[in-house]
């Protein structure tokens, strides 16, 4: 597509889609006209991809996820279509700057963090690898809240991402499904006289599809992200309406539409929220009904379902799908239980994302019975057959059987969704090698012993398109100039950079790029926070959700330690560092919110103290999201991956930093282990207890205060926080944090403190030799190839889904 063609299309859209003369058009109007122009291009590929799917007998990967954290579409689509230069020129001729138009897009923040972003990276890789795929999820009207920092505290602002419309989605009012809730079940006799069960629900909502094209990188494959939006059912409305209950009818509409109103902003389940169960069932039911409709449309028998669809459960959030598919097959399609079960198990795969026992989803049984009475019966039946087979073939004792049961009978009865997912899936995977091993030894041990062949590992990955080519154009240009552009789709080619780490001229260029990225981030941070950072300093960055297990407070204890050293000796020669933090806390997570306040409080003192602020600064970047993440990863020198060993399933931010040439300071947790294996232990700053050591320490009886007594720098740091030094003399604000650490410290912050500080001192030593630092930085990028989501998706396709590449030909329409 040439610049003049693009220009014409933008002008046409201004006139025909938006209805504004160019002279009156705003930046937002131009953004939309450009977005629609780009969408037209995608749509050609989209139609061909759907066509290929309908004409050939192909299998499609269906990724079921309650979250898709897509980030802005425009830049990514320009990159994948390869039309950025032409577009830049076209809009320039119309008096616009492309960067200004890119800034007009509101990012669709339909996810909390790693899990949602992983789904987005996987959609990018599926399309790029030319694998047919459908992403199924929820079209939340309000995504993850916008975070503002006021007086150092997090404030949550409603994310009205749809307020100016969304040019990337296409509503499909003809693709709708009814989803029932509540009521009861009853026996009846079918035409053949057989006794069957029927669900008599007392409410229904309608789900409508909104499709977003997912364009692969420089290929014709364009897949679909299909998000469901809840609407009231006319039939139900009409009843009330006709009987004169107009307000009742509207009321029902309001209730129905609340189902997809808002994303739950927790990155751990909040126990037993009814609306969340409604959301899960709603989107899963729509998605499975959609698959069955697609099967019918192709004239395929129901039995072939698992040959046509591989359905992956992104954590347990969609795991009700196991019971729903059984219901659709047994109740609605009248398959035998045995046939339906074979289909179900062959269809599903389950990805686990957490080892924290408190983060495993369970639903109170009474809630389940009230909303999904038929599904509860189905789960009982699955459980009865499962436990009978366990007793029979494995001769397990009662304790064992209790532990395996889909129902937790300790205290208030609850449904264990991870157990349902395991029983209903032929493949079960963790998201990093260590995590997959620990799963087998801890939370899913009993299932592993039953079905070792179902367990496998799929180490996470991130897309190099968004997180390198798009986020770091300068480094990408340097790399491409040096080794060609094959690395964008074959990241293992980054290895060709290794010898250049010995080339002084190349190192200089590498440093200049990093410097320029740091300047850009410094400009952004100054604008957002008023805090000035010097790009010649080390940028030490921790961005991720705020969580005790991720230990942002360990990081801030290091800052306070350096502060104390400098206060004691203002002439102390320390390498100047900017500590950059970012991340959202769940609104109800009390301690996490205090950690944010502490970071900002320490920042205020440090940044305004002339004794220290020439060597130390602290900035909290408000509202960490995909968009500003793209500015942050490329500007980092040091990546903080300091979770307590055994707690972070994988991490994916760690991969984004490594790809962009940051060195990591980290524990042996999640994918850190594999990152260190790849980049070499001499290029990674390792500290902290291993998983085994943490377990041993906790078994022995961990006494955090002993570490304070044994370490004067730690004692001094804790004393300072408690004294109100960072809180204008207020000794109350941080008391809960200090007490929690001193009395229980569930994530072993104090136990790892001394080793962390020693390791940070080592980091500072290496930083003093820029040539060596740069050498290590280059080697980190060069050896990060494994962490591409292309590698991960290839493994899913080959080892779990059996989904093959399907090149899409564009037929000439002329
Ligand atoms: C969101 C909602 C609920 Cl109810 C539970 C969890 C989440 C969530 O966002 N989890 C999440 O992000 N988990 C992370 O998944 C990543 C991708 O696999 C991992 O890298 C990371 O370790 C894990 O914490």
Fold of 464-783+792-796: Rossmann fold (3.40.50)
The fraction of the chain above a pLDDT of 70, given in percent, is 97
Residue 654 banded pLDDT, cuts 50, 70, 90: very high
- Closest ligand 1 atom number to CA of residue 266: 2
- Cα of 545 to ligand 1 centre, how many Å? 10
- Cα of 361 to ligand 1 centre, how many Å? 12
Question: With 70 as the cut, is the pLDDT of residue 236 above it?
Answer: no
Q: Which of 416, 656, 775, 791 does the annotation list as catalytic?
A: 656
Question: With 60 as the cut, is the pLDDT of residue 238 above it?
Answer: no
Q: Which of 13, 131, 308, 353 does the annotation list as catalytic?
A: 353
What is the tens place of the pLDDT at every residue in 348-362? 999 999 999 999 999
- Cα of 353 to ligand 1 centre, how many Å? 6
Q: Is 172 a catalytic residue?
A: no
* Mutation test residue for ligand 1: of 115, 430, 545, the one with most atoms within 8 Å of CB: 115
What is the tens place of the pLDDT at every residue in 491-548? 999 999 999 999 999 999 999 999 999 999 999 999 999 999 999 999 999 999 999 9
Q: Is 656 a catalytic residue?
A: yes
- Cα of 812 to ligand 1 centre, how many Å? 44
What is the tens place of the pLDDT at every residue in 179-217? 999 999 999 999 999 999 999 999 999 999 999 999 999
Q: Kind of pairing, strands 222-232 and 60-64? A: unpaired
Question: With 70 as the cut, is the pLDDT of residue 111 above it?
Answer: yes
Q: Which residue's CA is the nearest one to ligand 1's atom 15?
A: 115
- Closest ligand 1 atom number to CA of residue 276: 4
What is the tens place of the pLDDT at every residue in 33-77? 999 999 999 999 999 999 999 889 999 999 999 999 999 999 999
Of the candidates 519, 523, 534, 520, the residue with the CA atom closest to the CA atom of residue 616: 534
Enter the tokens of residue 601: 């409080």
Residue 393 banded pLDDT, cuts 50, 70, 90: confident
- Closest ligand 1 atom number to CA of residue 117: 17
Q: Which residue's CA is the nearest one to ligand 1's atom 5?
A: 268
Tell whether ipTM is more than 0.95: yes
Contact 255, 293 (CB under 8 A): no
* 144: exposed, middle or buried (Cβ count in 10 Å: 0-12, 13-18, 19+): buried
Question: With 60 as the cut, is the pLDDT of residue 237 above it?
Answer: no
* Mutation test residue for ligand 1: of 65, 266, 267, the one with most atoms within 8 Å of CB: 267
Question: With 50 as the cut, is the pLDDT of residue 116 above it?
Answer: yes
Those residues whose C-beta lies under 8 Å from the C-beta of residue 662, and which sit 6 or more positions away, are: 541, 633, 636, 637, 638, 639, 777, 780
The fraction of the chain above a pLDDT of 90, given in percent, is 94
Residue entry with tokens 């419309």: 165
- In DSSP terms, 188 is beta-bridged to 196
Q: Which residue's CA is the nearest one to ligand 1's atom 11?
A: 115
- Cα of 674 to ligand 1 centre, how many Å? 19
Q: Is 732 helix (H, G, I), strand (E, B) or coil?
A: coil
Contact 617, 529 (CB under 8 A): no
Q: Which residue's CA is the nearest one to ligand 1's atom 2?
A: 267
- Cα of 721 to ligand 1 centre, how many Å? 31
- Closest ligand 1 atom number to CA of residue 118: 17
CA-based R_g, the chain, Å: 27
Q: Which of 45, 544, 547, 676 does the annotation list as catalytic?
A: 544
Q: Which of 13, 458, 550, 577 does the annotation list as catalytic?
A: 550
Identify the helix (H) or strand (E) that includes residue 445.
helix 445-450
- Sign, CA dihedral 481-485-490-491, equals positive
Of the candidates 510, 535, 539, the residue with the CA atom closest to the CA atom of residue 774: 510
| Cα distance between residue 751 and residue 507, in whole Å | 38
Q: Which residue's CA is the nearest one to ligand 1's atom 7?
A: 267
Enter the tokens of residue 581: 């933090």
| Cα distance between residue 154 and residue 148, in whole Å | 6
Report the pLDDT value the prediction gives residue 793, as an integer from 0 to 100. 99
What Cα–Cα distance (Å) separates residue 803 from each residue in 107, 122, 302, 620?
A: 30, 14, 19, 43
What is the tens place of the pLDDT at every residue in 316-339? 999 999 999 999 999 999 999 999
Those residues whose C-beta lies under 8 Å from the C-beta of residue 124, and which sit 6 or more positions away, are: 76, 214, 216, 217, 463, 465, 466, 789
**Residue 611: count of CB within 10 angstroms of its CB:** 13
Question: With 60 as the cut, is the pLDDT of residue 814 above it?
Answer: no
Enter the tokens of residue 325: 């598919």
* Mutation test residue for ligand 1: of 69, 114, 648, the one with most atoms within 8 Å of CB: 114
Of the candidates 26, 20, 227, the residue with the CA atom closest to the CA atom of residue 119: 227
- Closest ligand 1 atom number to CA of residue 270: 4
| Cα distance between residue 152 and residue 730, in whole Å | 14
Those residues whose C-beta lies under 8 Å from the C-beta of residue 165, and which sit 6 or more positions away, are: 32
- Closest ligand 1 atom number to CA of residue 111: 9
Question: With 80 as the cut, is the pLDDT of residue 813 above it?
Answer: no
Q: Which residue's CA is the nearest one to ligand 1's atom 4?
A: 269
Of the candidates 541, 537, 491, 506, the residue with the CA atom closest to the CA atom of residue 790: 491
Instruction: Mark 580-609 as b/e (b = at least 16 C-beta within 10 Å).
Output: bbbbbbbeebeebbbbbbbbbbbbbbbbee
Residue entry with tokens 């192709």: 298
- Cα of 113 to ligand 1 centre, how many Å? 6
Question: With 70 as the cut, is the pLDDT of residue 241 above it?
Answer: no
- Cα of 431 to ligand 1 centre, how many Å? 10
Question: With 90 as the cut, is the pLDDT of residue 802 above it?
Answer: yes
Q: In what order do the strands lie in the sheet with 427-430?
A: 170-181, 203-215, 222-232, 133-138, 60-64, 309-314, 348-351, 427-430, 455-457
- Closest ligand 1 atom number to CA of residue 545: 12
Report angle CA 427, 302, 425 to the nearest 5 degrees.
15
Q: Is 373 helix (H, G, I), strand (E, B) or coil?
A: helix
Q: Give the chain's length.
A: 814
What is 481-539 written as a DSSP string?
HHH-SGGGT-GGGGGGGGGGGG-HHHHHHHHHHHHHHHHHHHHHHHHHH-----TTSEE
* 610: exposed, middle or buried (Cβ count in 10 Å: 0-12, 13-18, 19+): exposed
Q: Which of 128, 463, 652, 664 does the annotation list as catalytic?
A: 652
Domain boundaries, the chain: 1-56+73-106, 464-783+792-796
Residue 249 banded pLDDT, cuts 50, 70, 90: low
- Cα of 667 to ligand 1 centre, how many Å? 19
Q: Is 568 helix (H, G, I), strand (E, B) or coil?
A: helix
Q: Is 545 a catalytic residue?
A: yes
- Closest ligand 1 atom number to CA of residue 317: 4
| Cα distance between residue 159 and residue 433, in whole Å | 36
Residue 811 banded pLDDT, cuts 50, 70, 90: confident
Between 73 and 267, residue with greater pLDDT: 73
Q: Which residue's CA is the nearest one to ligand 1's atom 21?
A: 651
Q: Which residue's CA is the nearest one to ligand 1's atom 9?
A: 267
What is the rounded average pLDDT for all residues in the chain? 96
What is 241-301 written as a DSSP string?
HHTT-HHHHHHHHHHHHHTTTB----SSPPTT-HHHHHHHHHHHHHHHHHHHHHHHHTT--
Mean pLDDT of 113-138: 98
Mean pLDDT of 92-96: 96
Ligand 1 is surrounded, with C-beta below 6 A, by 112-115, 118, 266-269, 353-354, 431, 460, 648-652, 670
- Cα of 359 to ligand 1 centre, how many Å? 10
Q: Which residue's CA is the nearest one to ligand 1's atom 20?
A: 651
- Closest ligand 1 atom number to CA of residue 112: 9
**Residue 397 φ then ψ, to 5°:** -80, 170
- Cα of 114 to ligand 1 centre, how many Å? 5
What is the tens place of the pLDDT at every residue in 13-34? 999 999 999 999 999 999 999 9
Residue 469 DSSP label: I
Contact 614, 639 (CB under 8 A): no
- In DSSP terms, 582 is beta-bridged to 543, 621
Q: Is 353 a catalytic residue?
A: yes
- Closest ligand 1 atom number to CA of residue 671: 20
Weakest-pLDDT range from 255-259, 301-305, 671-675, 765-769 = 255-259
- Cα of 267 to ligand 1 centre, how many Å? 6
Q: Which residue's CA is the nearest one to ligand 1's atom 8?
A: 267
Q: Which of 545, 553, 577, 676 does the annotation list as catalytic?
A: 545
- Cα of 650 to ligand 1 centre, how many Å? 9
């Amino acid at each position: 597509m040439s610049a003049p063609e693009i220009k014409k299309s933008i002008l046409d859209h201004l006139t025909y889609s938006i209805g504004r003369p160019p002279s009156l058009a705003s930046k937002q109007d131009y953004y939309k006209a450009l977005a629609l122009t780009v969408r037209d291009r995608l749509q050609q590929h989209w139609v061909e991809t759907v066509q290929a799917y309908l004409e050939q007998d192909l299998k499609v990967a269906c990724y079921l996820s309650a979250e898709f954290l897509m980030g802005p579409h425009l830049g990514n689509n320009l990159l994948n279509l390869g039309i950025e230069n032409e577009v830049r020129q076209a809009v320039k001729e119309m008096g616009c700057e492309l960067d200004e138009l890119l800034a007009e897009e509101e990012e669709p923040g339909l996810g909390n963090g790693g899990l949602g972003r992983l789904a987005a990276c996987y959609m990018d890789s599926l399309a790029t690898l030319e694998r047919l795929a459908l992403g199924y999820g929820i079209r939340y009207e309000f995504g993850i809240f916008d975070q503002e920092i006021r007086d150092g505290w997090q404030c949550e602002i409603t994310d009205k991402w749809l307020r100016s419309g969304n040019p990337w989605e296409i509503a499909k009012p003809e693709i709708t499904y009814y989803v029932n809730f509540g009521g009861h079940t009853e026996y009846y006799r079918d035409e053949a006289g057989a006794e069957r069960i029927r669900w008599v629900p007392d409410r229904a909502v309608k789900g409508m599809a909104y499709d977003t094209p997912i364009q692969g990188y420089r290929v014709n494959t364009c897949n679909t992200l299909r998000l469901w939006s809840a609407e009231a059912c006319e039939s139900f409305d009409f009843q009330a309406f006709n009987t004169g209950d107009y307000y009742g009818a509207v009321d029902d509409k309001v209730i129905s539409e609340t189902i997809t109103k808002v994303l739950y902003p927790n990155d751990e389940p909040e126990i037993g929220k009814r609306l969340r169960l409604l959301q899960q069932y709603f989107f899963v039911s729509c998605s499975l009904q959609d698959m069955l409709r697609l099967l019918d449309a192709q004239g395929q028998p129901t039995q072939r379902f698992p040959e046509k669809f591989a359905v992956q459960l992104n954590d347990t959030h969609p795991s009700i799908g196991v019971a729903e598919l059984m219901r659709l097959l047994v109740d609605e399609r009248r398959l035998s239980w045995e046939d339906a079960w074979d289909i179900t198990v062959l269809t599903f795969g389950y990805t686990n994302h957490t080892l924290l026992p408190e983060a495993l989803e369970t639903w109170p049984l009474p809630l389940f019975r009230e909303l999904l009475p038929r599904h509860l019966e189905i789960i009982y039946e699955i459980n009865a057959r499962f436990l009978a087979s366990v007793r029979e073939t494995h001769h397990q004792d009662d304790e064992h059987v209790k532990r395996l049961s889909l129902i937790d009978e300790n205290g208030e009865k609850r449904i264990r969704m991870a157990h349902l997912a395991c029983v209903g899936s032929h493949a079960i995977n963790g998201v990093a090698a260590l995590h997959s091993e620990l799963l087998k030894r801890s939370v899913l041990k009993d299932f592993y012993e039953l079905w070792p062949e179902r367990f496998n590992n799929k180490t996470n990955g991130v897309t190099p398109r968004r997180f390198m080519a798009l986020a770091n154009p300068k480094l990408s240009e340097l790399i491409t100039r040096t080794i060609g552009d094959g690395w964008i789709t074959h990241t293992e080619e980054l290895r060709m950079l290794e010898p250049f780490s010995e080339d002084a001229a190349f190192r200089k260029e590498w440093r200049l790029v990093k410097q320029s990225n740091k300047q850009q981030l410094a400009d952004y941070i100054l604008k957002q926070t008023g805090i000035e950072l010097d790009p010649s300093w080390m940028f030490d960055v921790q961005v991720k959700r705020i969580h005790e297990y991720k230990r942002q407070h360990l990081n801030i204890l290091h800052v306070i330690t350096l502060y104390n050293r400098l206060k004691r000796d203002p002439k102390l020669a320390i390498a100047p560092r900017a500590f950059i933090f970012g991340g959202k806390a769940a609104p109800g997570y009390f301690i996490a919110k205090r950690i944010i306040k502490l970071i900002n409080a320490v920042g205020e003192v440090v940044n305004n103290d002339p004794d220290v602020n020439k060597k130390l600064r602290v900035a909290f970047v408000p509202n960490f999201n995909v968009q500003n993440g793209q500015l942050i990863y490329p500007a980092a020198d040091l990546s903080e991956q300091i979770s307590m060993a055994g707690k972070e399933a994988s991490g994916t931010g760690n991969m984004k930093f490594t790809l962009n040439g940051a060195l990591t300071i980290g524990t042996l947790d999640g994918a850190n282990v594999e990152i260190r294996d790849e980049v070499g232990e001499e290029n990674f700053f390792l500290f902290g207890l291993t998983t085994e050591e943490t377990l041993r320490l906790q078994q022995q009886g961990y006494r955090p205060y002993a570490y304070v007594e044994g370490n004067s720098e730690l004692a001094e740091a804790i004393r300072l926080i408690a004294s109100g030094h960072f809180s204008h003399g207020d000794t109350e604000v941080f008391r809960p944090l200090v007490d929690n650490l001193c009395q229980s410290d569930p994530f072993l912050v104090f136990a790892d403190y001394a080793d962390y500080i020693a390791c940070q001192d080592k980091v500072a030593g290496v930083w003093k030799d820029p040539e060596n630092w740069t050498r290590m930085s280059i080697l980190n990028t060069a050896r990060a190839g494994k962490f591409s989501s292309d590698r991960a998706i290839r493994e899913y396709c080959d080892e779990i889904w059996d989904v093959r590449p399907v090149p899409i030909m564009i037929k000439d329409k002329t």
